[in-house]
Amino acid sequence: MAAMKTGPDISLIASLVGDPARANMLTALMGGRALSAGELAAEAGVTLQTASSHLAKLQAGGLVAVEKQGRHRYFRLTGPDIAAMLESMMGLAARVGHIRRQPGPKDPALRHARICYDHLAGDQGVRLFDSLTRRRLLRSSDGRLDLTAAGEKFVAEFGIDLAALAATRRPLCRTCLDWSERRSHLAGALGAALLARMVTLGWARRDAGSRVVAFSRSGQNRFDRTFPAR
Amino acid sequence: MAAMKTGPDISLIASLVGDPARANMLTALMGGRALSAGELAAEAGVTLQTASSHLAKLQAGGLVAVEKQGRHRYFRLTGPDIAAMLESMMGLAARVGHIRRQPGPKDPALRHARICYDHLAGDQGVRLFDSLTRRRLLRSSDGRLDLTAAGEKFVAEFGIDLAALAATRRPLCRTCLDWSERRSHLAGALGAALLARMVTLGWARRDAGSRVVAFSRSGQNRFDRTFPAR
DNA sequence: CCAATGCTTCGATCGTCATCGAAGCTTTCT
DNA sequence: AGAAAGCTTCGATGACGATCGAAGCATTGG
C-alpha cells in the first residue's frame, strides 16, 4: 500500500521518454517541424507498426499532437516546454556520463549550431544570447526576460516584426538551458524569429533530416559582426 | 539496426525516473537531506529488497550517491541539477494533466512553501525571488544571475557570510522553474543559504518526513516585511 | 560471543510492453 | 473503379524488469 502521494506524476512522463525508440522520436521532433509517422519510424529505427503504437502513447500522454493532412499524419511536440525538458535531460545525461557510443560525424556540427524546437542552440545560440545581454539589448528583471528599448530598435532593424510577435500568445523571450554548452540560450517567440530571419537572410540553412544548422562562410561572418562577443 | 544516434542518451535517465517506486524515492530526496534505504523504501511503498535494487540502479545511473555511516547507508541526489530536472518534469506533468489521484491534505502547504533540494520553492519561493529582483538586489545580465552591490549589502545584513559562499565551487545564484507557480525561484548557494538562515531565525521549520516548509505566524510576518511584494 | 539491526544478494514468479507479420482502413492518384 | 500509399489495428512472441521470500553479510549493542 503506497503512501498517498501528491503532486504531478513524474513517472508517467518519464516512462514515455524512457523507451529508446520514443526518445529518438522526441529528439527528432526537437527539430521543430512536424514529422510524419513514417519519418519518425525511420528516425527511431523501428517498423511503421511499432512507431504507430509509440506515437499513440506519446499522444495519449500529451507529449505530442497530431495534425491530419490528407493521407499523412504529422506529429509535433505539444509545446516548447517539452523541448526544454528534453534539453535539460540531455544536460544531465551528459554530466553523469551517459554519452552515446560514438561521438558520430555530425556531433561537432550539432554542438556548434542546432535547432532546439524552433530556435538556435549550441555554441552559436549561447553566443547570440550573451551578445544581446552584454550589449543591454536584452535584460532580465523581475523574473522576466525582456527587450530593452534599444533592443526593440535593434530587432526591428534586423527585420523582425515585433508587433506580429506580440500578437501571439507565446512569451516573447525565454531562456533555455543548453546541454552542450551548459549555459542559457534564447528561446521564446523572439528566439524563433531570430533564427527564421537568419535563414531568410541566407546566413544559414537547416540540414534536412537532422537538427544541424549549417552556417555559410559569409553567413558566419555576418553573424559574428552582428552579434559581437563583446 | 537503429540509425547511429549522437548526443547524450536521454532514455537511460528517463527510464530510471520512469518507474513509480524510483520516482517516489527521487521526489523524497528533493527534500535535500540524505535518506536511508529503509526510509526510502517506506517512502516508495515497497519492501527493503526492492528498494535496494532500485537504489543500486539509481546509483549506477549517476542520479544518487551513497554515504556509508556505520550500518546505515544514506542516499542523496548527486546534484541540484537533478532536483531542477525533476521540478521541470513536474511542471510538464501538471500542464498536460497528469496530476495525482487525490490532491491530498498536504498539497496546499506544498504549494505555499516547500523544499526544492535545499532552497525555498512554491509561492513563497517565487515571492522571494520577485522581491529581490524588483528591488534591484538581484540582477541578471550576460546570462548570469548576480547580486548587485546593494544586494550584497542586504544579504550580509540578513546574516549570511558571502565570503564563505563564494569559497564553494557552487554557483551563487541560479534560477529554478517552479512546478506549482510556473515561475522562477532562487536556487544556488545563495538560495540555500537564505532558507537556512530563515530556519535559524525561527521563521520557519522543515516538516519532518515531507518537503513542506512551515512558516510560523510571526515568521510569515517578518518574511512579508523583509521581502515586500513591491 | 551472541543477538539484533540494516541492508544486499539470490532465486523464482509474474506482468507488462516492445516488436513485427498480417490484415484492415482511409485517402490520393490515374 | 482500381491501384497504390500511408497508417492503424490485431495477434502472437519474446524479453526485460519489478516484486518479494529467503538467505547472506556487515555493523552495533549487550
The model's pLDDT over B176-226, given as tens digits with 9 standing for 90+, comes to: 878 777 778 898 889 999 999 999 999 999 877 778 899 999 999 999 999
Highest mean pLDDT among A156-165, B106-115, B208-217: A156-165
Q: Do strands A72-77 and A35-36 pair parallel, antiparallel, or not at all (unpaired)?
A: antiparallel
Name A19's Cβ contacts closer than 8 Å, sequence gap at least 6. A54, B11, B15
The per-residue pLDDT for A109 is 82
Q: Report the distance separating Cα B220 and Cα B214, nearest Å.
A: 9
Tell me the average pLDDT across B76-105. 82
pLDDT category of residue A1 using cuts at 50, 70 and 90: very low
Does A16 or B118 have the greater pLDDT score? A16
CA distance B197 to chain A (A): 23
**Which range has the worst mean pLDDT, A109-123, A175-189, B126-140?**
A175-189
The per-residue pLDDT for B2 is 38
The per-residue pLDDT for A2 is 39
Nucleotide nearest to A59 (CA to C1'): D8
Q: B54 — phi, psi (to 5°)?
A: -60, -45
Tell me the average pLDDT across A27-52. 91
Residue burial A48-61, b: 16+ Cβ < 10 Å; e: rest: eeebeebbeebeeb
Task: Report the amino acid identity of residue A36.
Answer: S
The per-residue pLDDT for B178 is 82
Contact flag A16-B15 (C-beta cutoff 8 Å): no
Tell me the average pLDDT across A203-229. 88
Nearest-by-Cβ selection for A92 from B81, B95, B140: B81
What is the SS3 assignment for A214?
A: strand
A72 Cβ nearer than 7 Å to chain D strand:
yes
The per-residue pLDDT for B206 is 84
Cα dihedral A82, A87, B187, B117 sign: positive
**Which range has the worst mean pLDDT, A103-107, B22-26, B80-84, B199-203?**
A103-107
- Whether pTM > 0.85 for this model: the answer is no
CA distance A64 to chain B (A): 10
As a rounded value in angstroms, the CA-to-C1' distance for B4 and C5 is: 50
Contact flag A82-B92 (C-beta cutoff 8 Å): yes
The DSSP call for residue A216 is -
As a rounded value in angstroms, the CA-to-C1' distance for A48 and C22 is: 13
Q: Is the pLDDT of residue A183 over 80?
A: no
Q: B52 — phi, psi (to 5°)?
A: -60, -45
pLDDT category of residue A158 using cuts at 50, 70 and 90: very high
Cell of B103: 490532491
Contact flag A13-B63 (C-beta cutoff 8 Å): no
Q: Is the pLDDT of residue A171 over 70?
A: yes
pLDDT category of residue B50 using cuts at 50, 70 and 90: very high
Does A114 or A141 have the greater pLDDT score? A114
Give the whole-number percent of chain B exceeding pLDDT 70.
91
Q: Report the distance separating Cα A170 and Cα A167, nearest Å.
A: 8
Contact flag A134-B140 (C-beta cutoff 8 Å): no
Q: Closest-CA residue in chain B for A180? A: B7
The per-residue pLDDT for B3 is 44
pLDDT category of residue A101 using cuts at 50, 70 and 90: low
B59 Cβ nearer than 7 Å to chain C strand:
no
Length of chain B: 230
Task: Report the amino acid identity of residue A133.
Answer: T
Q: Is the pLDDT of residue B23 over 90?
A: yes
pLDDT category of residue A212 using cuts at 50, 70 and 90: confident
Nucleotide nearest to B66 (CA to C1'): C7
Q: A135 — phi, psi (to 5°)?
A: -90, 10
Q: What is the pLDDT of residues A51-63, one digit of tens each?
A: 999 999 999 999 9
CA atoms within 13 A on the CB side of B191: 30
Nearest-by-Cβ selection for B7 from A61, A95, A110: A110
Q: Sheet containing A72-77: which strands, arranged edge to edge?
A: A35-36, A72-77, A64-69
Cell of A140: 532580465
Q: Where are the alpha helices (DSSP H) in chain A?
A: 10-18, 20-29, 37-44, 48-60, 80-96, 107-112, 123-134, 149-157, 162-167, 188-200, 217-226
A140 Cβ nearer than 7 Å to chain C strand:
no
Give the whole-number percent of chain A exceeding pLDDT 90.
51
Q: Report the distance separating Cα A57 and Cα A52, nearest Å.
A: 9
3-class DSSP string for chain B: CCCCCCCECHHHHHHHHHCHHHHHHHHHHCCCCCEEHHHHHHHHCCCHHHHHHHHHHHHHCCCEEEEEECCEEEEEECCHHHHHHHHHHHHHHHHHCCECCCCCCCHHHHHHCEEECCEEECHHHHHHHHHHHHCCCEEEECCEEEECHHHHHHHHHCCCCHHHHHHCCCCCCEEEECCCCCCEEEEHHHHHHHHHHHHHCCCEEECCCCCEEEECHHHHHHHHHHCCCC
CB-CB neighbors (< 8 A) of B134 in chain A: 141-142
The per-residue pLDDT for A98 is 65
Q: Is the pLDDT of residue A77 over 80?
A: yes
Tell me the average pLDDT across B95-121. 76
Q: Is the pLDDT of residue B4 over 60?
A: no
The distance between the two most distant Cα atoms of chain B, rounded to a whole number of Å, is: 64
Angle at A82 between CA A177 and CA B134, to 5 degrees: 50
> Nucleotides of chain C within 7 Å of a protein C-beta?
5-11, 17-23, 26-28
Q: Report the distance separating Cα A61 and Cα B6, nearest Å.
A: 26
Contact flag A10-B89 (C-beta cutoff 8 Å): yes
A107 Cβ nearer than 7 Å to chain C strand:
no
Mean residue pLDDT across chain A: 86
Q: Report the distance separating Cα A158 and Cα A197, nearest Å.
A: 8
Give the whole-number percent of chain A exceeding pLDDT 70.
90
Chain A to chain B Cβ contacts (< 8 Å): 224
Name A147's Cβ contacts closer than 8 Å, sequence gap at least 6. A137, A138, A139, A155, A162, A172, A173, A190
Q: Report the distance separating Cα A70 and Cα A67, nearest Å.
A: 10
